[in-house]
Each structure stands twice: as C-alpha cells, then as structure tokens.
Amino acid sequence: MQRTAEFVQSHPDSYYERFLSKMDPLACHKAAREQCETAMNTEIDERRFHSEKKTDIKVEQQTQREERSPPKLYPYDTLQTPAETQGIQDITCYLRRREMLSTGLLQFDDHPENYWAWKASFQNAIKDLKITAQEEIDLMIKWLGNESRQQAKRIRSVHVFNPTAALHLLWQRLEECYGSPEVMENALLKKIEQLPKLHNWDNTKSRELGDILQEMECAKDGGYLPGLSYLDTSRGVNPIVDKLPYGLQDKWIATGAKYKEKHKVAFPPFSVFSKFVRQQAKIRNNPSFVITPISTSFKKEKSFKGDNRQIVTVHKTDIPTDTGTAQKCFSKPAESPDKLCPIHKKPHPLTKCKTF
C-alpha cells in the first residue's frame, strides 16, 4: 500500500486523464483494424519474399548438381558390383554363342575356291566366344560340307583325348585338300573348261564367264596362286577366247592388237582381257538394248470343201509279164463261173464263194 501510494503521488494528474477521458468505440475499432491489416500485409510480403528466395536457391543448387553429375538413365541409381558385371558378360557371351551355333555361320560347300573366304568368316565369328578346342571341332563339323565333314569326323575319332592336336590336324587337312594353291588353281581352271562355247544369244553365260575371269584375276593378283601367271600369255588366253562367239573373237583381236601397239608389249595382260569380257557382257545384258524378234505365224487355211469321191475297191488280178504267156491267156477260153470260181481259181461256183 505504501509503495502504491508513492507511485500515484509521483505521476502528474495529466497521465490519468487519458484513461479517464471518454473515447469513441467505432474510431478505436477502425484504428485497430487498420493496424491489424497493415501488420498482416507486412507479414505476407515477408513470407512471400522468403519463399521466393528459397525457391531460387533450390533451383540454383539443383542446376549446379546436374552440371556436376551426369544424367541418370534409370529412375534409381543402381551401382553394379564387379560380380554383377562379370555375370552380365557371361550371359551375353552365352547368348552370342547360342545364336552363333544356330544361324550365325556359313555352310562350307566343299569348293576349294571358297575355302579361304569360309575360313576367314568362321574364325572371325568365334574369336570372341572363348570356346574350347573340342567345342570348336564340334562347331566345324556342323558347318563343313559333306566330304570335309567325313574327314573331320575321322580326325576327331582318332584324337579323342587330345582335342588341341585334333584341331590343329583338322585345319592342316582342310588346307591341304581345299586351300593349297594347286587345288585352287585346278578348281578355277576347271570352271573355264566346263563352260560350253558361247553363242550370240547366250547373254547370261557371257556374264557368268566375266565373273569367273574376275575371280581368276583377283586370285592371280593376290600372289598366292603363282600358277595363274601364265594367263598373261597367249597360251593361257586363247583357249578362253575360243569359247567366245565369233563376233567377240574379232573384237578381242582388234582390241588386243591395239593394246600391243600402244603399250609396246608382247601380249596384253590378263586384266585387259577380263575387263573386255565383262564390258561386252554388260552391253549384251543391258535391258535397253535387248532386241526381241517379232515372230509372225502363218496359219494354214483348211479346206472346208467336202470330198465327194467314192471309194473304189478292186480285186487283185494277175498281169502277165511275158508276151507269150499273155497271148496264151487271151487265147484260152474263159471258164464258166458256175464251174470255176474266177476269184480263187477253185472248182466251186461263184454263187457259193465264201467271199460274198
């Protein structure tokens, strides 16, 4: 009470007059409302400013994070362990091996001229499969020809417990039978020998001859068939020229003579002759210059007139060749048909003859 009294006495009377004076309630309410609205607007503006600032900061951080790290291909970041990577590689190798065993290789046709191409394709296909020697032998037996497959089976049956030696011996045998230069030379020359003589209308055969000559040219230029070098002479080319039509023979003689005179050589190279044949085959097989002869068929006119001639039948009569016999026959009196048959010359009457 003492402290309260001292506090009241220490303040002037004007301080209490403000509380004691009468005030308008509407004015107070209006002033309080305006003050609340101002405070609320200020707080909203501050929150919006802070939210926009946070959004900008997040966007900037996300952009920096994306620039530092590569884009993700999957929705979840799955890091593969070395064991999983090895497993995926094994599965891939298995699938490739399975596809290769089914449809991935070419079938060898037992033709020596195709052996090296088949071998290159086979080895290129299996180099990444990591297969064993036994598996390679089995794969070769599947994709070899009928004749070569029998040889491979015999070699495999002999070297059952040593597949590495069997594989080495099998490749050696195939090269001896199909890949040696002598065998390939004979196969290519045999193609030319078996080709029949061409005619002016054999356009397809001329293109086939051009393909064979191009194959022989590539084999000769490759250097692994030295026996084909004699094709650069007249002794090697003339048997092939003999199979051409006469018109192409004359053209080749003119072309070869012109080449000899221009280049001062003893005989044109085989490449010139091969190019000449291919060019002529291309011209003859050009559909723009194929002339089909127009065949006119003449039909025979049939006669519709009826044949009104009557069929005449006569009996065989004896004609005498000797004049004396003829006189006797004519001088002999005729027999009566009632006693002697004039047809059979028998003694029965004509009325009872079985012919009638």
Beta carbons within 10 angstroms of residue 268's beta carbon:
22
Q: List the domain boundaries for the chain.
A: 23-66, 85-179, 184-286
Whether residue 256 has pLDDT greater than 50: yes
DSSP string, 273-290: HHHHHHHHHHHHT-GGGP
Element (H, E) at 267: none
Q: What is the pLDDT of residue 255?
A: 93
Rounded to the nearest integer, the mean pLDDT of the chain is 77
| CA angle centred on 221, ends 216 and 225, rounded to 5° | 70
CA 216 to chain centre: 23
pLDDT digits (tens, 9 = 90+) for 312-329: 666 656 555 555 554 544
Whole-angstrom Cα distance, residue 218 to residue 212? Answer: 10
The pLDDT, as a whole number, for residue 316 is: 59
Q: Using alpha carbons, list the distances in angstroms from residue 126 to 93, 119, 151, 275.
A: 11, 11, 21, 37
Closest by Cα among 279, 228, 284, 213 to 252: 279
- pTM: predicted TM-score of the whole model, two decimal places: 0.53
pLDDT confidence tier of residue 32, bands split at 50, 70 and 90: low
Residue 176 DSSP class: I
Q: How far apart are CA 100 and CA 117, in angstroms?
A: 17
- Residue 146 CA to residue 274 CA, distance in Å, equals 33
Number of residues in the chain: 356
Q: Which of 42 and 170 is assigned the larger pLDDT?
A: 170
> Does residue 281 have a pLDDT over 80?
yes
Q: At what angle do helices 163-174 and 146-158 cross, to 10 degrees?
A: 150
